């Protein structure tokens, strides 16, 4: 049926009607008092989502632009950087650091595994010369949640800065930037923040500023000192995506009206429901329960059946889009997002569609078995 699509990928995610309405308001000048008031309202609210009392810069970039902002302002050629890698996005963060001339030590924990704090502690004890440690809060390519509080406690004991990619977590998964000793925290608009793509949000803590100010490497559009200077007047250094700012204002209102604790609990509940459903269908989630992501669930396709064949039936016959695997997991897994503007019936729909698609590709499932398992979780049983 035309225009009947169910987008269940980990970004871009569905946008709530209230946010769409806010984004279609008339344009305002970005040097106007109206914009300054909007910017200030956003800032007061977004700091609560980030768990910080410090500045959160709203920048007109994609998420990767936000990561590049973090690197460009901290790293100079020859600096030593430690990258904690659990999948595709951890690898990308390391690549950006290398592009800026850093000497990057990588610890690869494996795709589907989480960061092992003992290994990090040993590495930091062995080489105290790191300028920055790069970590991913929620590894979207595998559906793994990393322990940022644990990593933060270790990095805080060293002179290194902790830079965190929170792109698919912030807004859906609890993070306490200040309390957990995160020095730069990055997210983007199109994941748990319930907006279209186009904004990155970059928060900077006090340990980072002297490093940023003293960094000799070139930067212009990505300059945090330039962003900070404009920010003092509730301005932005260059023309921002005004419509997305208007949408962000509305999205933050929605989150705070629901209550951040409730937002986080909702994501955890949806993840549990999906997990129990796929287990009931005899499928295997990629991540262990102890560190499975609250916002996206990765599932191995059954033996002998390509994950992308299942996705094709879902998309073409049922109008449901799941994400595929990335990198080494391509064709082996599919990923179901329950991120941002997602609720109980989205999960029921995803599971019901999965049961139908599995049947169509020749994997015998008892119809309704996964749905029932999800319903039990959602009913709190």
Annotated binding residues for substrate: 335
Which residues lie below 8 Å from residue 140, measured CB to CB, with a gap of 6+?
10, 11, 87, 88, 89, 167, 168, 191, 293, 296, 335
Q: Report the C-alpha gap between 256 and 242 in whole angstroms.
A: 21
Measured from the CB of residue 322, what is the shortest distance to ligand PLP in angstroms? Answer: 15
For residue 322, state whether it binds ligand PLP (rule: CB under 6 A).
no
For residue 326, state whether it binds ligand PLP (rule: CB under 6 A).
no
Binds ligand PLP (CB under 6 A): choice among 35, 50, 57, 89: 89
Which residues lie below 8 Å from residue 3, measured CB to CB, with a gap of 6+?
none
Binding site, by residue number, is 335
For residue 64, state whether it binds ligand PLP (rule: CB under 6 A).
yes
Cα torsion angle, 189, 195, 199, 205, sign: negative
For residue 340, state whether it binds ligand PLP (rule: CB under 6 A).
no
Measured from the CB of residue 197, what is the shortest distance to ligand PLP in angstroms? Answer: 6
For residue 168, state whether it binds ligand PLP (rule: CB under 6 A).
yes
For residue 136, state whether it binds ligand PLP (rule: CB under 6 A).
yes
Long-range contacts of 304-313 (CB under 8 A, 24+ apart): 305/361, 305/362, 305/363, 306/331, 307/331, 307/332, 307/333, 307/334, 308/334, 309/361, 310/334, 310/354, 310/357, 310/358, 310/361, 313/356, 313/357, 313/360, 313/361
Measured from the CB of residue 296, what is the shortest distance to ligand PLP in angstroms? Answer: 8
- 163 neighbors 183 (Cβ within 8 angstroms): yes
Select 233 or 330, whichever has its Cβ closest to ligand PLP: 330
Length of the chain counted residue by residue: 381
For residue 11, state whether it binds ligand PLP (rule: CB under 6 A).
yes
Select 190 or 301, whichever has its Cβ closest to ligand PLP: 190
Contacting range for ligand PLP; rule: CB under 6 A; set: 62-70, 171-179, 247-255, 366-374? 62-70
Binding mask 146-165 for ligand PLP (x = CB under 6 A): -------------------x
DSSP strands (E only) in 63-142? 80-85, 103-108, 132-136, 138-139
How many residues interact with ligand PLP (rule CB under 6 A)? 13
**Binding to ligand PLP (CB under 6 A): which residues in 186-215?**
188, 191, 197
Measured from the CB of residue 353, what is the shortest distance to ligand PLP in angstroms? Answer: 23
Going by the DSSP 8-state scheme, the letter that residue 173 receives in this structure is B
Contact residues toward ligand PLP (CB under 6 A) are 11, 62-64, 89, 136, 140, 165, 167-168, 188, 191, 197
């Amino acid at each position: 049926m035309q225009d009947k699509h169910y987008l269940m990928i980990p970004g871009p995610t569905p946008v709530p009607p209230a946010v769409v309405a806010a984004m279609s308001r008339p344009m305002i000048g970005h040097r106007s008092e109206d914009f300054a008031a909007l910017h200030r309202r956003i800032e007061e609210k977004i700091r609560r989502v980030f768990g910080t009392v410090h500045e959160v810069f709203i920048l007109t970039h994609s998420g990767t632009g936000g990561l590049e902002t973090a690197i460009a302002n901290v790293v100079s050629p020859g600096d030593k950087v430690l990258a904690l890698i659990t999948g595709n996005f951890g690898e990308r963060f390391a690549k950006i650091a290398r592009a800026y001339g850093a000497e990057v030590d990588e610890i690869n924990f494996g795709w589907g595994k989480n960061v092992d704090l003992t290994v990090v502690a040993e590495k930091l004890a062995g080489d105290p010369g790191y300028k920055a440690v790069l970590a991913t809060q929620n590894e979207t390519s595998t559906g793994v949640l990393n322990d940022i509080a644990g990593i933060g406690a270790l990095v805080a004991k060293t002179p290194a800065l902790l830079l965190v990619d929170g792109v698919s977590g912030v807004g859906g998964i609890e993070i306490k930037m200040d309390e957990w000793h995160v020095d730069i925290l990055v997210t983007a608009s199109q994941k748990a923040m319930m907006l279209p793509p186009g904004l990155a949000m970059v928060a900077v803590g006090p340990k980072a500023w002297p490093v940023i100010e003293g960094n000799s490497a070139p930067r212009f559009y990505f300059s945090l000192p330039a962003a900070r200077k404009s920010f003092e007047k509730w301005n932005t250094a260059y023309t921002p995506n005004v419509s997305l700012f208007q949408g962000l204002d509305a999205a933050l209102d929605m989150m705070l009206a629901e209550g951040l604790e409730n937002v986080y609990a909702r994501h955890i509940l949806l993840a549990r429901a999906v997990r129990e459903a796929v287990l009931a269908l005899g499928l295997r989630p990629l991540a262990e329960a102890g560190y499975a992501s609250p916002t996206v669930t990765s599932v191995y396709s059954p033996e002998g059946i390509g994950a992308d064949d299942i996705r094709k039936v879902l998309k073409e016959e049922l109008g449901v889009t799941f994400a595929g695997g990335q990198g080494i997991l391509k064709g082996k897994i599919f990923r179901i997002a329950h991120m941002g503007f997602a609720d109980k019936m989205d999960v029921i729909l995803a599971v019901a569609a999965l049961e139908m698609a599995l049947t169509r590709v020749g994997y015998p499932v008892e119809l309704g078995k996964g749905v029932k398992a999800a319903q039990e979780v959602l009913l709190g049983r």
